Amino acid sequence: MPRVDLTGKPIVITGASSGIGYSTALACADAGMPIVVVARRADRLDALVETIESRGGRAAAVTGDVSDPETSKHAVEVCIERFSGVYSVFANAGYGFEAPVHETGIERMRAIFETNFFGTLHLVEAAVPHMLKAKSGHVLICSSCIGKIALPYFGAYCATKAAQNHVGRAMNLELRPHGVMTSTVHPVGTKTDFFDTAKSLSETSGATLADHAPQWLMQTPETVAKSVVRCLERPKPEVWPSWAWLVRFGMAISMAFPRVGDLGLKRLVREYEEAEHGRRDQPAGKLDRTNSSARSA
């Protein structure tokens, strides 16, 4: 496939106030793309727009929660009005928390799906009709490496990432004949607000995902952003940033041989149980583990 010139091709990016979304917005702007950035924190979005414009780019901000379909609808409308179209969208907003599935509760499960999964679909529903009309476009969905396997105590988060992965793969087959590409993005551990928040919570509630992620597995959001831009320039179905193909290979083995994969995850269960035992011995008033969460938007 020939390289796509991104100059002048507008993109909408959700979860853009920090982390992967923020870095991707800067990288796309540097590649010549006009940007509509979406998040809940207006002050951060305004600062991001100012930074992009100071570097010679074009950008607009839309404040809102992606669980509300009107947010994505408005963002796409702003993109079309300001930049004469919408070539791409990057569904990136999301959050996670640590809790056993049986203790998560239906309401919390629904809430995380509303943001991570249905927030993605709201953006797709708003943008894809315009792409089909133009017979050109690129949908990017930020899933995760753990969209391929499940981690104990992060079942809710993993489920949303797996759902994003599956709809993205299906959409690529459905839309590609009409000139629209879909790619799923699968970062490994990334140094963003997600981990920072989870780490701060772990000081009172025990180990979190941040404690289970080896430093050699961690990537910067800039690494992911560069991979996203490369995918926009040369579209492919899946994006595994940097050397993450090694993780992809390991996960393929885990999926083919579940018992082998489970052996490597038993340590997480042991650490969780030890932390839970210690938490129960703490005086009342300590943070409950099922309230541990990290969110990026």
Q: Which two tokens stand for residue 1?
A: 């496939």
Q: Are strands 137-142 and 94-97 parallel, antiparallel or unpaired?
A: unpaired
Q: Out of 87, 153, 157, 272, pick the active-site residue.
A: 157
Structure-block tokens of residue 271: 């650490």
If you search the block for the tokens 């309230």, which residue do you land on? 291
Identify whether 157 is a catalytic site residue. yes
Q: Please state, in angstroms and rounded to a whole number, the distance separating the CA atoms of residues 91 and 81.
A: 20
| Full 3-state SS string of the chain | CCCCCCCCCCEEEECCCCHHHHHHHHHHHHCCCCEEEEECCHHHHHHHHHHHHHCCCCEEEEECCCCCHHHHHHHHHHHHHHHCCCCEEEECCEEEECCCHHHHCHHHHHHHHHHHCHHHHHHHHHHHHHHHHHCCEEEEEECCHHHCCCCCCCHHHHHHHHHHHHHHHHHHHHHHHHCEEEEEECCCCECCHHHHHHHHHHHHHCCCHHHHCCHHHCECHHHHHHHHHHHHHCCCCEECCCCCHHHHHHHHHHHHCHHHHHHHHHHHHHHHHHHHHHHHCCCCCCCCHHHCEEEEC
CA 225, distance to chain mean position in Å, is 12
**Which residue from 216, 212, 218 is spatially nearest to 154, judged by alpha carbons?**
212
- Which residues are catalytic, by number? 157
